[in-house]
A and B are shown apart, each in its own frame.
Chain A
Amino acid sequence: MKRTTPLSRFGLHATLAVLVVWSVLPFLWTFQTSIKFTRDVAAKEPVLWGYETTANAYRAFWLDADDVNMWSVLLYIAVVAAICVALGQTGRRVRHGWPWFAAVALVIFAALWRFPKIWEANDEYDFLINSIVVTVLTMIISLSIGLLAGYGLARYTGISGAVILIIALGFRALPRTAFVLPYFFGAKEIDDWLTRTGVGSWDFPLIDFPGIDTLQILDTRLAIVLALVAVNQPFTIWMFRSFFMEVPKEIEEAAMMDGATRLQAFRKVIIPMMWPAIIATGLFTMLLAYNEYLFVRVLAPTEWTLPVAIVSLTGGESSRTITEAAAASVSITLPIVVVIILFQKHLVKGLGAGAVKG
């Protein structure tokens, strides 16, 4: 039994409140900078309340035109969000929810695709799309190969399994520069070879992507995705392995007794039990890809994702104002906040699982 007196409860909440302020103060400050007029930001004494609010900074950062009513943009986002929530909630209630979740993805895709057709968007919008493409591709590739390897490593008892795990653990600790510099060099060499031999400008009838006429590696989203998948592998296989270790062997053995092959047992019996693990690992992979800065800066000089865009556009020499920088910071943070609030439980469980076995 925990004894709590009103006084100690007050002290507890007061201390936590102080910690919360220390955590979120910079965000609150940035948020209110982003909705101020420049004259209030430049004031000698900070204007803390009673100021006039505006969405000018958001418009200037994301849109080309400067006469768009930002309420209409907000309404657009709100409607899309409402549809997604409705679909997602339905998906959670019904037994086989995946078509509903697929519909959520489809709605988001359609909304992102329509947006620049309704309002003229800036280059920054392309960087947002880059961010999303890189994050989604990294998650798909990284999770699928990691899931297979994690299962193999959890069930195999030979020495080579232990060796792979330990080497992966070592890789987990290495600094980014040990990889990004050789990636850059290697990609450059391959690109040189592609132009020298002319292979890069061959016409491949089957992989004729729109908008791509020469094959190259540097400065493509593919380069970023490959790099991220690689550095994420050690973490992914350790995480999945620790989740698979909790699933008793007998479950798939029973399925195999009934005549299923191992792959069938894995797909039909084990995977459906692993959704919490997949979501938890997926969240960390998402954060890694969405937040990456160094790889993108070195490997993709123009195909930026949002973090690089923000740092480059708000640096000293750029003409962007403080309010625009703040608006950019808020815009890039909001999606993560939403995802984390939705999946908080999985995140905590995932950290716990990874840590206890770690």
Chain B
Amino acid sequence: MNRRTFWGFTVPSVAVMLLLMVFPLLTTVWLGFQKLLLRDLNNPEWIGFDNYRDLLSDPEFWAAFRFTMVFVAIVVPVTMVMGLCTALLLDRVGRGRSIYLAALLLPFIVTPVVGSLVYKDLFERGGLLAWLWEVITDNPFAVNSGNVKWLIIIQAIWNVMPFAMITFFAGLQTLPEERVEAAAIDGANFWRNLWHVTLPHLRVLILFVGLITIMDMYRVYDQVFVWTGNRFTDAHTLQVYNVRIATAFDIGRLGKGNAMAVLTVIGIFVVLVPFLWRSYKDQIAERV
């Protein structure tokens, strides 16, 4: 395919990405240096790095940062291990597999805000788990600033585990049967088999799922917002904090919100750049 045809095919998509991704991103950077209130959008005022100084001295920013880090550090590994185990189990099921799959996929495909709402229902007054808690511990259960963090974490695991499961499951389908049989003939038991055959086969997928989950959990918004609203500021993630300072009624500071978005982007790129660099090398290698 020559250059002209290539651009003919890609121009609509590239135009959309230039106009609605590259350009807005530059706008974000520019707005981050402005003093700009939501109720008075027509008078931006250049204030240099004041927004950033403001953010970095805000204890709520650091609270959001801390919680996001804890959140990612717990949710990602637990999700991966649980997803892998479930995928291994599913792989051994003969009949009824598609029923299990459909049921297990449900938390992943449901609208995130609705997923949080239904999960929250279990812990509301009169909810099933709140009642169980009361029966077991003899104390009434109420969502408060102390336990809401744990509820958010558990619900996030519930929400994203199916993604890891289904990806690993798809990977297991491509594992050549002969490799497993050869290992079995050599006398490998389940664990040795897992360690020497299955996991190496899934290596790329584990990296992929890990990266996607880190990205998605780092920028989580919908699910957490349903739990906290504008209360429980200790349990706000970076995105919830960001949307709150930018759009909260009457006090919305769009400039500061954009500065915060820039900080979040820088944060994710620290993780991402080595990976992007490697993908770029792969792409180039593919072309020679």
The size bracket of the interface on B is: 35 or more
Identify the stretch in B46-54, B70-78, B277-285 within 8 Å (CB) of chain A at 4 or more residues: B277-285
Q: Mark B170-202, 1 if CB is under 8 A from A, else 0.
A: 110110000001001000000000000000000
Are B9 and A149 touching (Cβ within 8 A)?
yes
Are A23 and B107 touching (Cβ within 8 A)?
yes
Query: Across the interface, which residues of A come within 8 angstroms of B119, CB to CB?
Result: 26
Interface presence of A294 (CB below 8 A): yes
Are B111 and A333 touching (Cβ within 8 A)?
yes
Query: Across the interface, which residues of B come within 8 angstroms of A212, CB to CB?
Result: none
Given contacts A19-B86, A166-B279, A182-B258, contact A25 B122 (CB under 8 A): yes
Given contacts A148-B10, A230-B17, contact A340 B105 (CB under 8 A): yes
Query: Across the interface, which residues of B come within 8 angstroms of A230, CB to CB?
Result: 16-17, 19-21
Are B121 and A33 touching (Cβ within 8 A)?
yes
Are B104 and A29 touching (Cβ within 8 A)?
no
The size bracket of the interface on A is: 35 or more
Least CB distance from A124 to B in Å reads 14
Q: Mark B216-232, 1 if CB is under 8 A from A, else 0.
A: 00110110011001000
Q: Mark B10-33, 1 if CB is under 8 A from A, else 0.
A: 101110110111001101100100
- Residues of A135-168 at the interface with B, using a CB-CB cut-off of 8 Å, are 145-146, 148-149, 151-153, 155-162, 164-168
Q: Mark B82-114, 1 if CB is under 8 A from A, else 0.
A: 000010011011001010111111110111111
Interface presence of B65 (CB below 8 A): no
Interface presence of A46 (CB below 8 A): yes
> A5–B181 Cα gap in the complex (Å)?
18
Interface presence of B142 (CB below 8 A): no
The 8 Å CB contact of A314, one of B31, B117, B170, B264, is B117
The 8 Å CB contact of B246, one of A41, A151, A181, A352, is A181
> A314–B118 Cα gap in the complex (Å)?
12
Interface presence of A207 (CB below 8 A): no
- Contact sample, A vs B, 19 pairs, CB 8 Å cutoff: A24-B103, A45-B131, A152-B10, A170-B272, A173-B215, A181-B31, A182-B24, A182-B25, A184-B254, A192-B42, A231-B21, A293-B111, A311-B113, A337-B109, A340-B106, A344-B98, A348-B101, A349-B170, A355-B171
A interface, CB within 8 angstroms of B: 1-2, 4, 12-13, 15-16, 19-20, 22-27, 29-30, 33, 41-46, 145-146, 148-149, 151-153, 155-162, 164-179, 181-186, 188-189, 192, 226-227, 229-231, 233-234, 237, 262, 287, 290-291, 293-294, 298, 306-307, 310-311, 314-316, 322, 325-326, 329, 332-333, 336-337, 340-341, 344, 347-349, 351-352, 355-356, 358
List 13 other contacts, CB 8 Å, given A26-B121, A27-B110, A294-B222.
Answer: A12-B93, A13-B96, A170-B272, A170-B276, A174-B219, A185-B27, A229-B16, A229-B20, A307-B112, A307-B222, A311-B226, A344-B98, A356-B170
